[in-house]
Structure 1
Amino acid sequence: MLLRWFWRIVLLLVLLYIVPYSWTLIFALVTAMLLEGFINSISKTFKLNRLWSVLIAFIVYVGGLLGAVFIIVSVLTKQIITLSQKLPGVVKDLYNTAVLPFIRKWENYSQSLPTDVIRSVEDALERGISSLEAFARNLVEGTVQLVAVVPGFLIEFLIYLIALFLFCLEFPVIKRKAKNFLQESTYQKISLVFVDLNKAGIGFLRAQLFLSLITFTMAYTGLWLLKVPYTLLLSILIVIVDILPILGTGSVLVPWAIVAMLQGNQHLGIGLIIMFIVITIIRRIVEPKVYSASLGLTPLAALVSLYLGFKILGFVGLFLGPALLIIYETLKKAGVIKRNILL
């Protein structure tokens, strides 16, 4: 008995040691699990063997993934190139219409202020400019580092694709070998947990995609009505920022609205503020309902898990909160956790 526990502990330690080096393979295995239902449906529908079913599913998945990336990158590249060509003129216009009038007003207003107050304000402006310069420098350095990472990422992606195809092909064998190491009751519980978590994982991705689509639609429609150029590029930027609750859409729309008002464009500024309010309200109303429908949680449970997860763990908690609740409910359903506490 002690020897059995010893080898279990050794195996666990080995797994914990190799996990940090195996994220590409783990991601490939998880993707293979998610594609297993699609592969089985192809096999049953077209009466194909495992190899052809896996090949079709693999081509559909990789083709869809690369196609979506190509379309997004090609459109964004065109808009970024156009924007970069016009950026010097935009910066000059911003300086003439917003920064310069502010400096002139400050020069007139500062004549009636004490010297200490003027010095404090000027120091704050200098610190702000220094922070902006540091941010720009870090942005350039980060871009250079990102470019340097691309070759390594391509190698990892190629390994991911190869591992994904092999995992999909050998998945029934992996399940069969795993069953040999487990008792029947343990295998049944793990299978139940796996099925529920698989559904929850797909549901979570579906919920995130649906919420991002709602945000993109509202942002694109609002920017189109306001006749803002680079609508697609800016809408995607808003969606990316909206996924990060630490920032939120307000970190893009509110400063933009302030700058627009300083430039005298009250219509655009007010429109951006209204956009921010509408997107925020609709997201907060729809989010718990979407999570409850996609993850099998009640709206109240989804709201509580999202709120507490964000309050305790920040951005990560928005994902970890519902995930922990789903895992708890799944383990309870499988009989791993037995709740028999009475007060």
Structure 2
Amino acid sequence: MSQIVNKTNKLLLFFIVYTLTFILFFKTLPYTLPFVLALIFAYILRKPTRYLVNTFKIKAALASILTTLVFFTVILSLLSLTVSSIIREMITLTKGIQTYIDSNYYNILDIFSKLQNNFNDIDPYILNTAKNYFLNSISGILNSTVNIGTSIVGYLINILAYIPYICMVIVFTLLATYFFTKKIVTHNVPFASTIKENNNSDKFLEIFNHGKKMLVSYIGSYGIIILITFLITLVGFLILKVNYALILSILCALFDLLPVLGMPLIYFPLIIYNLIIKNYFIAIALLILYLIVFITRQIVEPKIVSSSLGIDPVAVLAATFIGLKANGVTGLIFCMFLVVFYNVFKRVDIL
């Protein structure tokens, strides 16, 4: 009985500490973001920097400057190109939608007239209600697409207000990355060893190592899932000769992280569009492609995540469902890391 009470108390304490830490981390993230990013980047750059030091016999300070500058140049360039491409393709796409609806508005009315003539047995009130509802929806879509270009411009103008903060984050992240990378390379010891020396705690070091391993595995596993979604979608779109195949595939992979309304935001408008223009083969092919991506993701995700983290697939599914049901993406992150850290503490015999 005492063992059960003791285990329950440990679990309760773990849940309380984890919840408070989770809330504290994300509430303070706007203030600590440069240093959190810098630690991650320094961890990534430590091996290239040590390679420069050992191979070319240059000082750690100079090697850290070189790797940091190259890393930030590549990241910022790719980010700028991606954002500009997405904005450009979105504007072109929304203009195309607007033009299509404008030029085919009366064709849509004609479709309803033919339906009304072909289905005389259906109550006219039902047909008129469906017709009015559909036309109101079309009008709403038309108004939205007319304003979407203005909305994008307005959104970009609003972002301008955050430019000082964004610039400050970039500058402080760059500087902090340089100093963290230099410190790691200069001491020539892993960060975990520094923790051990400073805290003289083998248990804490064991927790840190397990936590680091599982965190990297978690990020890597979802990176693989996003890559699978992207590749299947891109190959399918290229075979079907879908316009804007690359940008739509990127958006589809990113939206796949959103609960429920992920991939359908890309696939369903394309399917509906091809049905309207009577391109039934492409519409059916897109539906089949969507089902392939969806089923593949449902099969692959639990296996990849559970195998990389060493967690039971049922626990992964439960954390995903409960998290999404409780609080969307935030709830998903909370529950997944709750399972991850519970597994870490269980492995080191704390729980």
Same fold (TM over 0.5): yes
Q: 1:35 aligns with which of 34, 38, 41?
A: 41
2:35 and 2:176 in contact (8 A); partners too:
yes
2:94 and 2:149 in contact (8 A); partners too:
no
Q: 1:228 aligns with which of 242, 261, 267?
A: 242
Measure the CA separation in 1 of the matches of 2:76 and 2:125.
59
Structure 1 residue 140, shift from structure 2 partner: 5.8
The amino acid across from 1:233 in the alignment is I
Measure the CA separation in 2 of the matches of 1:102 and 1:302.
47
| Corresponding residue for residue 108 of structure 1 | 117
| Corresponding residue for residue 276 of structure 1 | 290
2:38 and 2:173 in contact (8 A); partners too:
yes
1:265 aligns with 2:279: yes
1:24 and 1:159 in contact (8 A); partners too:
no
Measure the CA separation in 1 of the matches of 2:24 and 2:342.
26
1:292 and 1:302 in contact (8 A); partners too:
yes
Q: Secondary structure at the match of 1:314?
A: helix
Compute the RMSD of aligned alpha carbons: 3.8
Alignment deviations for residues 287-327 of structure 1 (CA, whole Å, 9 cap, x no partner): 12222344343444434433443344433344333211111
Measure the CA separation in 2 of the matches of 1:223 and 1:70.
25
Q: For the structure 1 residues 262 and 215, does the alpha-carbon distance in structure 2 shift closer, same or farther, using more than 3 Å as the test?
A: same
The amino acid across from 1:27 in the alignment is L
Q: For the structure 1 residues 57 and 324, does the alpha-carbon distance in structure 2 shift closer, same or farther, using more than 3 Å as the test?
A: farther
Alignment deviations for residues 29-63 of structure 1 (CA, whole Å, 9 cap, x no partner): 22222233344324543245443343233223312
Measure the CA separation in 2 of the matches of 1:272 and 1:130.
26
| Corresponding residue for residue 168 of structure 1 | 177
Unaligned runs of 5+ in 2: 1-19, 185-190
Q: 1:327 aligns with which of 322, 341, 347?
A: 341
Q: For the structure 1 residues 333 and 50, does the alpha-carbon distance in structure 2 shift closer, same or farther, using more than 3 Å as the test?
A: farther
Q: Which moved more, 1:295-304 or 1:321-330?
A: 295-304
| Corresponding residue for residue 61 of structure 1 | 71
Q: Secondary structure at the match of 1:245?
A: coil
Measure the CA separation in 2 of the matches of 1:68 and 1:208.
20
Q: For the structure 1 residues 313 and 86, does the alpha-carbon distance in structure 2 shift closer, same or farther, using more than 3 Å as the test?
A: closer
Residue identity (%)? 23
Q: For the structure 1 residues 126 and 95, does the alpha-carbon distance in structure 2 shift closer, same or farther, using more than 3 Å as the test?
A: closer
Alignment deviations for residues 246-267 of structure 1 (CA, whole Å, 9 cap, x no partner): 2032343234323422322111
The amino acid across from 2:157 in the alignment is A
How many residue pairs get matched? 316
Structure 2-normalised TM-score?
0.73
Q: Which moved more, 1:303-312 or 1:225-234?
A: 303-312
1:205 aligns with 2:219: yes
1:28 and 1:160 in contact (8 A); partners too:
yes
1:24 and 1:160 in contact (8 A); partners too:
no
Structure 1 residue 130, shift from structure 2 partner: 6.2
Q: 1:155 aligns with which of 156, 164, 175?
A: 164
The amino acid across from 2:341 in the alignment is I
1:70 aligns with 2:102: no
Q: Secondary structure at the match of 2:72?
A: helix
Measure the CA separation in 2 of the matches of 1:192 and 1:165.
30
The amino acid across from 1:91 in the alignment is I
2:270 and 2:283 in contact (8 A); partners too:
yes
The amino acid across from 2:159 in the alignment is V
Structure 1 residue 279, shift from structure 2 partner: 0.4
Q: 2:101 aligns with which of 71, 86, 91?
A: 91
Q: For the structure 1 residues 263 and 137, does the alpha-carbon distance in structure 2 shift closer, same or farther, using more than 3 Å as the test?
A: closer
The amino acid across from 1:26 in the alignment is T
Q: For the structure 1 residues 183 and 89, does the alpha-carbon distance in structure 2 shift closer, same or farther, using more than 3 Å as the test?
A: closer
Q: Secondary structure at the match of 1:102?
A: helix
Measure the CA separation in 1 of the matches of 2:129 and 2:160.
48
Structure 1-normalised TM-score?
0.74
Structure 1 residue 225, shift from structure 2 partner: 1.2
Measure the CA separation in 1 of the matches of 2:69 and 2:347.
36
Q: Secondary structure at the match of 1:243?
A: coil
1:34 and 1:198 in contact (8 A); partners too:
no
| Corresponding residue for residue 188 of structure 2 | none
| Corresponding residue for residue 62 of structure 2 | 52
Measure the CA separation in 1 of the matches of 2:109 and 2:67.
59
Structure 1 residue 189, shift from structure 2 partner: 4.7
Unaligned runs of 5+ in 1: 1-12, 339-343
Q: 2:254 aligns with which of 240, 260, 265?
A: 240
Structure 1 residue 277, shift from structure 2 partner: 0.7
Q: Which moved more, 1:149-158 or 1:268-277?
A: 149-158
